[in-house]
Chain A
Amino acid sequence: MKDKLISDKLSDNQMLNDLQRLLDEELSKPLEERDLDAIEEITNAVVSINDEEVPKPVSADKILEEVSARKKRGRIIQLRKWAAILTACFAICIAANLYTINTFGANVVETVMKIAKSGFSVDLNELRGFEATDPITTTAPPIAPTMMTATLNTEAVTSSTMATTETMGTWPASGVTNGITTVPAAVVTTETTNVPAPAGSSGTGNAYSIIDRCDEYSREIARELIEKCEEHDIYPCYPVEFPYLLEDMILDDHHFEQMKDSKDMYFTFTNGSDCSLDIIIEEYVSADRMPDVLIPSDEYEYDTFKNDYMSGIVIDEGYGTTIVFVRDNTVYTLHGKGLYKEAWVEAAMGFVPYPSEYLKK
């Protein structure tokens, strides 16, 4: 035996090989038929033979914290990046959209928005090119996928026309006419935001200088957005004016993701009650990498808004409002809950570009 001990060098390899073999035998069975006690014993032996210490269990708090964070992220991410999954829907939607354009003349909104089965798809590049001088438009859906007949198209256009004529009301007394909620043009044009002249300082990491431009309701959110984004060399649009209803919003969660084509920041702000605002900022390496995006929605109505710097799309579903706008190669998605649509639109309109004088040269 001494000879074997010498040639074996007291190695445990043979035993580990045997245990792997035993484990493989057990794992080759269907999951329900596996002997979990046997598996536990085998793997405990593997750990023991390797003289390995089993680490202390991670705390439940830490696990549940991560679970909660993922759920929030999941909720936000659900709003975005569905385009690939719904390619099939797009074919129908694009066809429907083209039909409308060819028949009734170009409609800028309809080139941007397409109805998919479970929401709106947004062509972000088109949204980016949305001219700030275009009039505010509120419209019924261009056409539902299942409504691809000439008769029904006519109905869609009729709704659209009626909706456009309803844009003359004054906000916040925005009207609900013919089932279509409108954001009046007058308010939208008067609520545009002007960025004050820069104070003259330069360099980056100047969140505190920049937020001097913000009103008291938007300052905290602006500071968080700028500070967190600057850590990843993202120089985002930020709010300089917010409705007073959002004054108590504080950052509840945020994280960064480096994607293949983009740098993404996710923020969740809450006010401690039922009001929450998710902000997703996606900076793409170039504008042509921006994907079509689907916004899940049961409603087939949407509004647009614009300020001096960008235009966006508003989708309201009663329990939440989603707003998407694009500035250069960066897409902003705001998802607000707990307040009326008008408040979220006002918040979105308060966004202005990051001051160029602070950009890293």
Chain B
Amino acid sequence: MRLLIEPEHCTLIIEKYYREIFSYCYAKLGYSHHSAEDCTQEVFVVFFTKHERLDETDNIRLWLYRTADNVIKAFMRKSPPPAVSIEDSPEAMDIADSGGFAEDTDSPLDILDEEERQLLELYYDSDYGQRTAAAKKLGITLPALYRKVHKIKKKLRGVK
């Protein structure tokens, strides 16, 4: 059965997938907020231009990702990002290296609770493969582990 996409349906689809598609575009576009925002909007415009109707079985999410891939490719052809690697990206470096503290700071780890200290130790004392395994052991994914570590680092930056 094919259903016409009504404006209300359109709103639901946008609200449900907007964040996800924005994040995807952001990760693939060298962490450029504006580029990701433009591409995300374009993804939905393209999607609804091509899909006036949907089958009940249509995988909207997959369609959106596929459309996002195409939109990002087209965007990169038109205006390729200055650099893809994080180290070469000043924007990313500004964000990622905004913290740090001097050698003479007194026990910065004192402000962390036991669990936070353990997570930080886990992070610093292992490589990529070990971290992945450790995250699994903790019952979380690597991205989830990294989000926790990021929060801890932010906390430490606050006392630098």
Does B62 contact A43, Cβ atoms closer than 8 Å? no
How far in angstroms is the closest Cβ of chain B from A74?
8
Does B120 contact A45, Cβ atoms closer than 8 Å? no
Residues A67 and B27 in contact in the complex (CB < 8 Å), given A11-B97, A60-B10:
no
* Residue in B19, B109, B141 whose beta carbon sits within 8 Å of that of A54 in the complex: B19
> Would you call A95 an interface residue if the criterion is a C-beta within 8 Å of the partner chain's C-beta atoms?
no
Residues A39 and B45 in contact in the complex (CB < 8 Å), given A31-B62, A55-B37:
no
Residues A31 and B86 in contact in the complex (CB < 8 Å), given A10-B157, A19-B143, A64-B48:
no
Query: What 0/1 pattern do residues 12 to 25 of A give for CB contact below 8 A with B?
Result: 11011111111100
Does A49 contact B20, Cβ atoms closer than 8 Å? no
Residues A12 and B108 in contact in the complex (CB < 8 Å), given A42-B27, A43-B26, A49-B146:
no
Of A1-9, A82-90, A143-151, A333-341, the one contacting chain B is A1-9
Residues A52 and B26 in contact in the complex (CB < 8 Å), given A22-B142, A46-B31, A57-B15:
yes
A residues within 8 A CB of B128? 18, 21
> Would you call A71 an interface residue if the criterion is a C-beta within 8 Å of the partner chain's C-beta atoms?
yes
Does A12 contact B66, Cβ atoms closer than 8 Å? no
* Residue in A19, A52, A63 whose beta carbon sits within 8 Å of that of B14 in the complex: A63
Does A1 contact B124, Cβ atoms closer than 8 Å? yes
Does A39 contact B65, Cβ atoms closer than 8 Å? yes
Q: Which residue of A lies closest to B157 (CB)?
A: A10
* Residue in A13, A43, A63 whose beta carbon sits within 8 Å of that of B48 in the complex: A63
> Would you call A70 an interface residue if the criterion is a C-beta within 8 Å of the partner chain's C-beta atoms?
yes
Residue pairs across A and B with CB atoms within 8 Å: the count is 163
> Would you call A259 an interface residue if the criterion is a C-beta within 8 Å of the partner chain's C-beta atoms?
no
Complex-state Cα separation, A58 to B22, whole angstroms: 11
Question: Interface SS of chain B: helix, strand, loop or mixed?
Answer: helix
> Would you call A32 an interface residue if the criterion is a C-beta within 8 Å of the partner chain's C-beta atoms?
yes
Does B18 contact A11, Cβ atoms closer than 8 Å? no
A residues within 8 A CB of B37? 55
How far in angstroms is the closest Cβ of chain A from B100?
3
Does B92 contact A16, Cβ atoms closer than 8 Å? yes
Does B66 contact A49, Cβ atoms closer than 8 Å? no
Query: What 0/1 pattern do residues 28 to 51 of A give for CB contact below 8 A with B?
Result: 000110101011111111111111
Does B48 contact A67, Cβ atoms closer than 8 Å? yes
Complex-state Cα separation, A38 to B147, whole angstroms: 14
> Would you call B35 an interface residue if the criterion is a C-beta within 8 Å of the partner chain's C-beta atoms?
no
Does A15 contact B14, Cβ atoms closer than 8 Å? no
Residues A50 and B143 in contact in the complex (CB < 8 Å), given A20-B27, A55-B37:
no
A residues within 8 A CB of B147? 45, 48-49
Does A64 contact B7, Cβ atoms closer than 8 Å? yes
Does A43 contact B97, Cβ atoms closer than 8 Å? no
Does A11 contact B96, Cβ atoms closer than 8 Å? yes
Query: What 0/1 pattern do residues 107 to 131 of B give for CB contact below 8 A with A?
Result: 0110000000000110011001001
Query: What 0/1 pattern do residues 127 to 160 of B give for CB contact below 8 A with A?
Result: 0100100000000011110110110011011001
> Would you call B73 an interface residue if the criterion is a C-beta within 8 Å of the partner chain's C-beta atoms?
no
> Would you call A298 an interface residue if the criterion is a C-beta within 8 Å of the partner chain's C-beta atoms?
no
Q: Counting chain A CB atoms within 10 Å of each CB, which of B96, B100, B125, B142 scores highest?
A: B96
Complex-state Cα separation, A19 to B149, whole angstroms: 13
> Would you call A61 an interface residue if the criterion is a C-beta within 8 Å of the partner chain's C-beta atoms?
yes
How far in angstroms is the closest Cβ of chain B from A77?
13
14 contacts between A and B (CB under 8 A): A5-B124, A9-B97, A12-B96, A15-B149, A31-B69, A40-B23, A42-B27, A46-B26, A47-B26, A50-B31, A54-B22, A59-B14, A64-B7, A67-B48
Q: Which 3 A-B pairs have the closest CB atoms?
A: A9-B100, A45-B143, A10-B99
Task: Give residues in B with beta carbon < 8 Å to A.
Answer: 7-8, 10-11, 14-15, 18-20, 22-24, 26-28, 31, 33, 37, 40-41, 44-45, 48-49, 61-62, 65-66, 69, 86-87, 92-93, 95-97, 99-103, 108-109, 120-121, 124-125, 128, 131, 141-144, 146-147, 149-150, 153-154, 156-157, 160
Additional A-B contacts beyond A5-B101, A13-B96, A58-B41 (14; CB < 8 A): A1-B120, A5-B156, A9-B97, A11-B97, A40-B24, A43-B20, A43-B26, A44-B19, A44-B20, A45-B143, A45-B146, A51-B95, A63-B44, A64-B10
